[in-house]
Structure 1
Amino acid sequence: MMPNEIIPHSRPSLSDSDIEAVISVLKAGQLSQGPKVREFENKLASFIGKKEAVAVSSGSAALHLALLALNVKKSDEVIIPSFVCSAVLNAVNYTGATAVLADIDPLTFNMSVGAAKRAITRKTKAIIVPHMFGCPAEIDKLSELGIPLIEDCAQSIGANFKGQRAGSFGRLSVFSFYATKVIAAAEGGMVLSDSEDLISRIKDLREYDNKDNYILRYNYKMTDIQAALGLSQLSFLEKFIERRREIAARYFQEFKNC
């Protein structure tokens, strides 16, 4: 490896197909939430193995709505790992609940099952389980704790655990399509679930227009522009994952020479 050869930490991989997908939406004139959003929702739900999906404006919005769908409120506690993106902590704080930290496994950087178990109290309403760096957490053992799980798959789309996709185990799962993620749509997120009640609640809270009653709702919609880019990127997912494996292998090889 040459001394001045740099492998970027992150950089979106954009193809001509991605650009054409966005241009087609611009030409169609449907810029906000529309048919491309619904297509993206259906494609990701099918890919992960969940019944339904709701596209939103960001991964943070996805986490927030997932917690609200579980009726997390001020008097509740939500267990999160001690090593994770601050967006997870922010989402808990949005609800007014208390975030309780559980230590991580030093080998996988994922939440320790034992630490999560010790953190449970009578106030525990949910556990947010990120799959760090594409490596799935012990989601089967965490499921046995009897607390609703929200899988955070921001870093793990396409990962598998015991024959199932990451994101197919929890009561809810959330994804991010920020520019640094494997699937980059500039911004955007998604919430997946098999529960019709939870999905209905999330769809209701996602937008505030055209409602018969007033409760606090949000402007968390994804645009068709983002969805078109996300759909195009999703078609290249296996290629993206293979490239990341190649880069990781290069690091491992160079570390041997340190």
Structure 2
Amino acid sequence: LALLSIGLKPKDKVAVSILSPLLYKTVCESLELELILCDVDPDTGILSMDEATKAVEQGAKAFLLHEPFGQIPYNAQELPTFGLPIIEDISESIGSHLQEFKSGMLGSIVICSLEEDNIISTGGGAIVFARNNETWEKLRTNNRPYRFYNEIPDMNAALGVIQLMNYEVNLKRRFELYTLYKNAILRTSHHLFGIENIDYESNGFMFSVVLNSKIDDAITFANKYSVSCQRSFASSIGSLYQEKYELFPIALPAINRAVSFPLYPFLQQKDQDAIVKVLSHLP
């Protein structure tokens, strides 16, 4: 819906980061759009300004911005100066901020998934926002034929409203856990995925670590203590390009060696302690 509403035509090119979900590739191909695959900013794991410049030179007509694991594009605030539409996906970054900069501030269209594992969940669906009235009218026009299929049922919407009421409390708890995990991983040779600026406050959407060791060893070690641990980017576009270091030197270490740990505001103390113990002793 968002892609249709920014005036793209078949064969137009869309710039995406290599860490974006495979779903982006599937949807763009279904609309006969071509992808320009880009490396990421080393600080944020999001499409970098240098790569955006290259994409424009290659004929990009729009940017599709994925913001993984609570990261925000504070290093790409000049992206709108290219004059191209930006679809900003804040599904994993909603609530994160660095001083006054927040997720959702760059997009011509902003989308936010409401699936069960998102910061705000209605058990399925998504919200689509438009930056201006012209884009909003295009969204409404494109949605009209599917309106009765696209609207979230009342019960699911009520679930989302309840979560919004507790949004600030849950964000605070997620950030507390994120900080606890971060302090644990600092005791090891591994490093945190993403922004390390002291003014950055993460929304706590999962916790991702880039390992200095074999990923299978870390997963086995975590499972030994009944802690869930999974590859962070197993379902990314980059999973199809794991050997292309010459093209994506910044993103590939995360694709090949990043693992994620659960981070939920209602984690029991024993589960929290187990995760901290595993993070502190990751092989």
Please, what TM-score do these two structures have when normalized by structure 2?
A: 0.60
Q: Does 1:142 align with 2:72?
A: no
Distance 1:202 1:119 in 2: 26
Distance 2:98 2:129 in 1: 17
Distance 2:131 2:41 in 1: 29
Tell me the percent identity. Answer: 25
Gaps of at least 5 residues in structure 2 are 188-279
Counterpart selection for 1:126 from 49, 55, 62: 62
Q: Which string of whole-angstrom CA distances, capped at 9 and with x for unpartnered residues, describes residues 209-235 of structure 1?
A: 7xxxxxxx9943322222111111111
Contact 2:64/2:86 (<8 A) preserved: yes
Q: Superposition pairs for residues 67-216 of structure 1, below 5 Å?
A: 67-121=3-57, 123-137=59-73, 138-160=75-97, 163-208=100-145
Q: 1:248 is aligned with what amino acid?
A: Y
Please, what TM-score do these two structures have when normalized by structure 1?
A: 0.66
Range with bigger deviation, 136-145 or 158-167: 158-167
Distance 1:159 1:249 in 2: 13
Structure with greater contact order relative to length (CA < 8 Å, sep ≥ 6): 1
Gaps of at least 5 residues in structure 1 are 1-64, 210-216
Distance 1:166 1:240 in 2: 17
Distance 1:148 1:200 in 2: 15
Contact 1:206/1:221 (<8 A) preserved: no
Q: 1:106 is aligned with what amino acid?
A: P
Q: 2:171 is aligned with what amino acid?
A: I
Runs (4+) of structure 1 moved beyond 4 Å? Answer: none
1:32 corresponding residue in structure 2: none
Q: Does 1:225 align with 2:155?
A: yes
Q: Does 1:246 align with 2:161?
A: no
Q: Which string of whole-angstrom CA distances, capped at 9 and with x for unpartnered residues, describes residues 42-75 of structure 1?
A: xxxxxxxxxxxxxxxxxxxxxxx11100121212
2:2 corresponding residue in structure 1: 66
Following TM superposition, by how much is the alpha carbon of 1:77 offset from its aligned partner in structure 2, in angstroms? Answer: 0.3
Following TM superposition, by how much is the alpha carbon of 1:145 offset from its aligned partner in structure 2, in angstroms? Answer: 2.4
Following TM superposition, by how much is the alpha carbon of 1:129 offset from its aligned partner in structure 2, in angstroms? Answer: 1.3
Aligned length: 187
Contact 2:61/2:84 (<8 A) preserved: yes
Distance 1:169 1:71 in 2: 18
Q: 1:251 is aligned with what amino acid?
A: Y
Following TM superposition, by how much is the alpha carbon of 1:252 offset from its aligned partner in structure 2, in angstroms? Answer: 2.0
Distance 1:87 1:145 in 2: 25
